[in-house]
Amino acid sequence: MSDDAALRVLIVEDDPMTAQAHADFVDRVPGFEVAGTFLGGHEAIERFDELAAAGSPVDIVLLDMNLTDSHGLEVAGRLNSRGQDVDIIAITAVRHLQVIRSAISSGITQYVIKPFTP
C-alpha cells in the first residue's frame, strides 16, 4: 500500500461510461482515490509504471477483460510481473470458465461479473 492514507485505484475499462461509473463509485468510498482511468491496457501499464517510479504506486487495479488494445489477462500478467504489491480486481462481462480460471491463476484476486450493483 502507498504511504498515503487512501488506497490508490487504477481503472482500466474500454467503455467510457462504465469507466466513469467506476471512478464515481471509487470517489464516493472513503479511503480510496482514483489514480487514473484508462480505456486501454497499454496506456494503463505505462501510467502504472510512472506512478510507481514517482513514489505513488497503485494499490488496486479495476480491470476489464475485453479491452480494445489488449486482453485483461495480458495486462494482469504484465502488471504482476512488475513485482509490486497490487491487487487486481477483474470487473467484466466475460463469463467463460477458462478465462475465470486463467484470471485467478494469473494473480487476479477477485473476479466480478457485470452487471452488478455496488
**pLDDT for 64-97, tens place per residue?**
999 999 999 999 999 999 989 899 999 999 999 9
Q: Which residue has the cell 455496488?
A: 118
Q: Thinking of the domain 7-113, which architecture would CATH place it in?
A: 3-Layer(aba) Sandwich (3.40)
Determine the Cα–Cα distance for residues 1 and 85; give it in Å rounded to an integer.
7
The ranges of the chain with pLDDT < 50 are 1-3
Model pLDDT, residue 1: 46
Q: List CB contacts of 7: < 8 A, sequence separation 6 or more.
A: 1, 31, 32, 33, 59, 60
Model pLDDT, residue 116: 76
Model pLDDT, residue 6: 94
Model pLDDT, residue 12: 98
What residues does each domain of the chain span? 7-113
